[in-house]
Chains A and B, each alone.
Chain A
Amino acid sequence: MSEIVHIAELTNLEKGRSLTQDAFLRLRKNKMAMFGLYFLLFLILVALLTPWIAPYSYEEQNLELGASPPSARHWMGTDILGRDQLTRIMYGSRISLMVGFIATAVALTIGVLWGAIAGFFGGRTDAIMMRIVDALYALPFTIFIILLTVVFGSSMLLLFLAIGAVEWLTMARIVRGQVLSIKKQEFIEAAISMGLPPSRIIAHHLIPNVLGPVIVYTTLTIPSVILLESFLSFLGLGIQPPASSWGSLISGGVEVMEEYPWLLAFPGVVLTITLFSLNFLGDGLRDALDPKSSRD
């Protein structure tokens, strides 16, 4: 009987719209951010399916053809060894995106844990942990990464760790700041004063409210990681042949750009558009999640 009453009552309810739903609606109205999102999804799909959909195999050379401009058979032309550039860019996207995502995941894990612990416990713990972050900030990290790759030889794993180790600092700062500001909010005090257990307060009240900025910053970290990897590869210190990332393709393109400009143009454009998409998506997410910041 009471069940029936409940259902009858529930159908009469006015459904609310949560902040997340609100944010998503706002994001959908932001054309550049949605372009970024779709392009990114497309890129991820292409990268995942590359071994099956690439027009040529990775090693396939055509020395007779040599470097040829874009044509019907080779949409993005070929390099000096007659390798199909589209194929190489597709394989390169696997590496660039993988570095981007994994290194960001490393940064995310360290940064969120570090920042959340410092922010939640506060006091002396916080002071010490943030002093360490401050000290690390003062270090010339790009140079450190170069040093690492020189000393230990460049490997993918090292790249992930090294780049992740650089990028977590800002994440830690953001998370700590957010935790501190949420912690001061009265709804947390209300939760404490209701006698809710700390685990519940963290899970239900703290984390959902800290998530927004973390998502935004994650989206903005991926492009800077991809950029850093490309930078290292460009200097010849990142991904080593025969593997290639966008950075090493660009590096190769620069050497021959006078004769074969398409070898610089295509990887350059793909990298730029990718960074563009991620940045626009990140900006869009920030505006959507924090409508005040977009100032309208």
Chain B
Amino acid sequence: MNAETLLSIENLRVVFNTRNGQTIAVNNVSFSLRKGEVLGIVGESGSGKSVACYSLLGLIPAPPGNIESGRALFNGKDLLTLTEKEMRRIRANHIAMIFQDPMTCLNPYMRIVDQLTEVLLVHKSMNQQQARAKAIEALIEVGIHNAAERIDQYPHQFSGGMRQRVMIAMALLAEPELLIADEPTTALDVTVQAQILKLIKDLQQRRQLTVIFITHDLGVAAQMADRILVMEKGNLIEQGDTNSVFKNPSQPYTKKLLGAVLTTSKPVSSHAIDYQNKPLLEVKNLQVSFTQSTGAFFRKIKYLVKGVDDVSIKIHSGEILGLVGESGSGKSTLGRSIIRLVDSHAGEIIFDGKEIVTANGEDLKTARRHFQMIFQDPYASLNPRMTVFDTLAEPLIVHGLATKTNVLEQVNQLMDDVGLDRRFIRKYPHEFSGGQRQRIAIARAIALKPKLIIADEPVSALDVTIRAQILALLLTLTQKHRLTMLFISHDMSVVRYLCDRVVVMQKGRLVEEGTTEELFSAPKQPYTQQLLEAIPELDQHFRETGSVKI
């Protein structure tokens, strides 16, 4: 064994025994880790990348999980044979973890100080005062201002990014040799993600930490890791230096993953969009507010929170307009208010020459026929109790676009359009995968041949390779049916890939707008620049190598 090797995993095999049989989560995986190295483990959901790391610390639920075979030598000791008590000495003390969702990973019932000092009280022989002093130091190190005061607060008083900083401080408190970071930035907004990644990188360099960085995002992996492991369905399929894996991937799956990273901008539409004509949809000075009330019973104060504040946009027939912003920017609210799922308070929405803010009854029904929506979560957007056929046939029949005799034909046509097998039309949504469900949702949206589709983060809940397929499908369909689309997303690379024009929103206001090319090459506003800088830098690797096509 190499003196520099900190961790060496041999033939690790983890299975889950469920009612429906056995699933092999990790299949004979071997890899090792040198001191001071950052290892990126990349894979899609279900690839076993998290399970492999959790089993090192005995954190997989058993049953149903079971480590069938393998060794995990950490400083020469096999972690998998440790007793629970010995394992506890390892956790946080020698190997620490940070997790994906900082909102749920801190105990809401305990003060930050207690959660931090606990680590020191358990693992180091420190008294309460020493531990507190050390914890404050740690918070300062991860960039929390007023640490001495804030340490006595509860988690809910911190924002998501701040909570992740607290998690990092907590993980590093006992000065572990190894830090396992499981998708630590996935739940965060892009600009916050960039800050947290930088923090981890800084700490790693300053403390000469060894890090395992688990992520589904190749861009993040490229930015963080010295070496990359690629996992698929429990198997370790490729490993090597970050540069060589990204430049010369040897496995088809790795190529597919890399291909799924969107580095290209939208090819110029085959049909020119006529910007001179009247726009298909015009939103003028729209305002949407929500009432919130605070104050107790004697002096209840109601005030308006502006979700969308004086926003005007235009969408021309045949174009895909990207609407970009972080959570809370009002982008979804704007989308929903166009389709009248949310009521607006001021402003006009003119669609095809007709005002629709005031429309109701039959007018609204007709208007809605021409708008369709695609939602983010393909598990929530389909009625779980209706078959695919019923889901697709319902709008056709209600709007009189099909009769009982030809509805099957039309539904089959839709299935073909979105690339689903016709034989599946009698199945229920839960019998499909996430990507297939999103295809059904897209089929439903195009069923009525709408003039405008509003797509609200339609690919952000999907794995990268699936995401690429769905985006390609959307691109094909928009060209084939000459669809107009408002595409709402937080992901700049997706927007660049798909959209003709982009509108950037921040805190309910419109910040910047322009053609995709203009905006990406010469962003005017600092916020837009920030968003662009936050895109992980994988594409640099591609610029050198000339990219892999989808």
Please report A residues at the B interface, Cβ cutoff 8 Å.
Answer: 2, 6, 9, 12-20, 22, 185-187, 189-197, 200, 204-205, 208-209, 296
List, in ascending order, chain B residues with CB within 8 A of A190's CB. Answer: 373, 375, 381-382, 441, 444
B427 lies within 8 A of A186 (CB)? no
Counted as pairs of residues, one from A and one from B, with CB atoms less than 8 Å apart, the total is 103
B interface residues, how many (CB within 8 angstroms): 47
Whether A186 touches B377, Cβ cut-off 8 Å, given contacts A13-B423, A13-B426, A296-B19, is yes
Whether A189 touches B19, Cβ cut-off 8 Å, given contacts A16-B431, A195-B364, A200-B398, is no
A16–B423 Cα gap in the complex (Å)?
Answer: 10
List, in ascending order, chain B residues with CB within 8 A of A195's CB. Answer: 364-369, 395, 398-399
A-contacting 9-mer, from B24-32, B234-242, B384-392: B384-392
In the complex, besides A18-B428, A186-B381, A296-B19, 7 extra interface pairs with C-beta distance below 8 angstroms are A15-B426, A16-B428, A19-B385, A190-B375, A195-B366, A196-B395, A296-B18
A209–B398 Cα gap in the complex (Å)?
Answer: 21
Q: What does the 1/0 interface line of B395-406 toward A look like (CB < 8 Å)?
A: 100110000010
* SS of A interface (majority): helix
List, in ascending order, chain A residues with CB within 8 A of B425's CB. Answer: 13
* Residue B380, interface by CB 8 Å: yes
A16 lies within 8 A of B387 (CB)? yes
List, in ascending order, chain A residues with CB within 8 A of B424's CB. Answer: 13-14, 16
Residue of B19, B365, B383 with most partner-chain A CB within 10 A: B383
A19 lies within 8 A of B426 (CB)? no
A186–B377 Cα gap in the complex (Å)?
Answer: 8
B444 lies within 8 A of A208 (CB)? no
* Residue B372, interface by CB 8 Å: yes
**Shortest distance in angstroms between B406's beta carbon and chain A's nearest beta carbon?**
8
List, in ascending order, chain A residues with CB within 8 A of B387's CB. Answer: 16, 18
A204–B369 Cα gap in the complex (Å)?
Answer: 19
A14–B431 Cα gap in the complex (Å)?
Answer: 11
B426 lies within 8 A of A208 (CB)? no
Whether A194 touches B427, Cβ cut-off 8 Å, given contacts A189-B341, A189-B375, is no
A13–B388 Cα gap in the complex (Å)?
Answer: 12
B368 partner, pick from A14, A193, A208, beta carbons under 8 A: A193
B427 lies within 8 A of A9 (CB)? no
* Residue B448, interface by CB 8 Å: yes
B384 lies within 8 A of A19 (CB)? yes
A296–B382 Cα gap in the complex (Å)?
Answer: 24
* Residue B351, interface by CB 8 Å: no
Whether A187 touches B372, Cβ cut-off 8 Å, given contacts A9-B422, A13-B425, A16-B431, is no
A200–B397 Cα gap in the complex (Å)?
Answer: 12
A194 partner, pick from B64, B395, B405, B422, beta carbons under 8 A: B395
B398 lies within 8 A of A187 (CB)? no
A187 lies within 8 A of B383 (CB)? yes
